[in-house]
């Protein structure tokens, strides 16, 4: 029986295998940080219990689907900080470049690894990587959920159809799971650490990625993430409930890039929001997004294999969209026109420019932006593909369960309910420019993101 504070209770054995006496490998993937990392904590516990050493490896796949220069810049600079932090604690860090399963298999053989602990991701590429590693090495592969406060498979054994049902389950167990992290207590260090990674060589390996320019308005890495979190909870959190849906205000946390790359633990953010001097209304609104909405996205991607296509929509949405499939479209645009922000709609174009220039479109406009793509493309499948392609090309926080759910919610009513019947949308909730004008000062947003 595990107890609170024990990383083991956030882990599950994915592939049985047979453990060997060699070192424990923490295969870092989604949660790219040393502090507040349940998967690393669990791997260190196992290494100490087995009186062996601990290695940390990150398998970098230059062909990672959708990765751009913008994403690689953020990820690689974050890993440089992770390596330095690990070295200070005598924990060896290995950056493997190439096809992840192949590189990890080679690494496990070279270092005679005895078992593998990796972090949790509901996405199919990571699940395929884990299966490949387990099959080829016969080693036990354990996954620990370092991304969610309540381990995804424990929060619910099935796909939840609305935030309401998962919220009830999460709120019932948060007091048990929203706890402080134990300190990292690494086992005895190996006799010598590997030489520092050749980060210039790593940059060369990903130089062929799509040239979306890196962003400069925020710094990657765990230290910058923690500093930003402290600033947010001491200031903007106070008015979060009032300003979070106003794209002309900087009223949200801007934490998503660091959360996506795992430079920051959402659990740390929730722990920081607890005692903050902010009205409960603001704190609850923030936790609703940070905990319920974010963990609902992992739930959807874990239990719905069609998380990134219209096949994943609920039956009522598929039906209504099919009924309206042949409704006339007043405007039709292709991917290049959308990408160049050259539609007839000033607000849509300004939102696209904000995403292109900053790598972060305001959350409220992402809903409007996606829904308009449904309205201005010939089919739902085309709209879904275009929305994800644009999102994952320019959003720093892209290629994430939140993005798959964000698009599926906007186009296919995932976690939403039927609304009044409209052309093209049927009973899928629709949003209009007038609706936006009633919510915030659209001319101010247009002025801020001029062509």
Q: How many CA atoms lie within 13 A of 245 on its CB side?
A: 13
395 is an interface residue for ligand FAD by CB under 6 A: yes
353/449 Cα distance (integer angstroms): 6
295/293 Cα distance (integer angstroms): 6
Q: Indicate the SS3 state at residue 19.
A: coil
Of 35, 36, 45, 61, the one binding ligand FO1 (CB under 6 A) is: 61
Cross-strand pairs, 99: none
CB of 379 to ligand FO1, least distance (A): 27
Of 255, 278, 321, 374, the one binding ligand FAD (CB under 6 A) is: 255
Of 19, 48, 64, 99, the one binding ligand FO1 (CB under 6 A) is: 64
Interface with ligand FO1 in residues 371-410 (CB under 6 A): 399-400
Q: Indicate the DSSP class of residue 24.
A: E
Binding mask 276-305 for ligand FAD (x = CB under 6 A): -------------xx--xx--x--------
Q: How far is CA 416 from CA 268, 293, 383, 406, 409, in A?
A: 29, 12, 18, 11, 7
Closer CB to ligand FO1, residue 399 or residue 415? 399
Cross-strand pairs, 24: 54, 115
98 is an interface residue for ligand FAD by CB under 6 A: no
CB 63 within 8 A of CB 205: no
146 is an interface residue for ligand FO1 by CB under 6 A: no
70 is an interface residue for ligand FO1 by CB under 6 A: no
Which of the ranges 118-126, 137-145, 221-229, 312-320 carries the binding residues for ligand FO1, by CB under 6 A? 118-126
Of 53, 253, 267, 349, the one binding ligand FAD (CB under 6 A) is: 253
Residue 324 token pair: 């309206």
Helix H or strand E encompassing 59: strand 54-60
How far out from the chain centre does Cα 268 lie? 15
Closer CB to ligand FAD, residue 267 or residue 391? 391
Q: Indicate the DSSP class of residue 379.
A: S
Q: Indicate the SS3 state at residue 97.
A: strand
Binding mask 2-41 for ligand FO1 (x = CB under 6 A): ---------------------------xx-----------
Cross-strand pairs, 55: 25
349 is an interface residue for ligand FAD by CB under 6 A: no
Task: Give me the count of residues in the chain.
Answer: 451
Binding site for ligand FO1 (CB under 6 A): 29-30, 59-61, 64, 67, 71, 75, 121, 123, 126, 399-400
Residues that bind ligand FAD (CB under 6 A): 244, 252-256, 259-260, 289-290, 293-294, 297, 363, 366-367, 370, 391, 395, 397-398, 400, 402-403, 406-407, 410
């Amino acid at each position: 029986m595990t107890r609170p504070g024990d990383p083991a209770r956030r882990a599950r054995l994915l592939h049985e295998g047979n453990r060997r006496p060699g070192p424990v490998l923490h295969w870092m993937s989604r949660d790219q940080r040393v502090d507040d990392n349940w998967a690393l904590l669990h791997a260190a516990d196992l290494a100490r219990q087995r009186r062996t050493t601990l290695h940390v490896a990150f398998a970098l796949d230059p062909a990672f689907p959708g990765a751009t220069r913008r994403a690689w810049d953020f990820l690689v600079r974050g890993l440089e900080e992770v390596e330095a932090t690990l070295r200070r604690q005598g924990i060896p860090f290995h950056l493997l470049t190439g096809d992840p399963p192949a590189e990890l298999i080679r690494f496990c053989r070279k270092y005679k690894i005895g078992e593998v602990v990796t972090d949790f991701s509901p996405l199919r590429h990571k699940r395929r990587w884990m299966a490949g590693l387990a099959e080829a090495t016969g080693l036990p592969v354990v996954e620990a959920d370092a991304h969610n406060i309540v381990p995804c498979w424990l929060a619910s054994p099935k796909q939840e159809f609305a935030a309401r049902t998962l919220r009830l389950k999460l709120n019932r167990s948060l007091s048990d799971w929203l706890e402080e992290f134990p300190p990292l207590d690494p086992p005895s260090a190996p006799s010598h650490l590997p030489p520092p990674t050749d980060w210039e060589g790593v940059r060369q390996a990903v130089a062929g990625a799509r040239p979306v320019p890196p962003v400069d308005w925020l710094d990657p890495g765990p230290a910058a993430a923690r500093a930003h979190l402290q600033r947010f909870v001491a200031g903007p959190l106070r008015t979060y409930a009032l300003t979070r849906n106003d794209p002309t205000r900087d009223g949200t946390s801007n934490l998503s890039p660091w959360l996506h790359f795992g430079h920051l633990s959402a659990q740390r953010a929730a722990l920081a929001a607890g005692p903050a001097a902010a009205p409960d209304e603001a704190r609850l609104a923030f936790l609703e997004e940070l905990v319920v909405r974010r963990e609902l996205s992992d739930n959807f991607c874990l239990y719905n294999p069609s998380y990134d296509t219209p096949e994943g929509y609920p039956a009522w949405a598929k039906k209504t969209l099919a009924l309206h499939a042949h409704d006339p479209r007043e405007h039709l645009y292709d991917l290049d026109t959308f990408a160049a922000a050259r539609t007839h709609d000033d607000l849509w174009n300004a939102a696209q420019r904000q995403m292109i220039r900053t790598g972060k479109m305001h959350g409220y406009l992402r809903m409007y932006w996606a829904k308009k793509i449904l309205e201005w493309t010939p089919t739902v499948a085309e709209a879904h593909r275009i929305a994800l392609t644009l999102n994952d090309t320019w959003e720093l926080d892209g290629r994430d369960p939140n993005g798959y759910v964000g698009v599926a919610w906007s186009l296919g009513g995932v976690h939403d309910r039927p609304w009044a019947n409209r052309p093209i949308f049927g009973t899928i909730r629709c949003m209009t420019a007038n609706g936006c004008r009633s919510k915030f000062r659209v001319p101010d947003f247009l002025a801020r993101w001029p062509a």
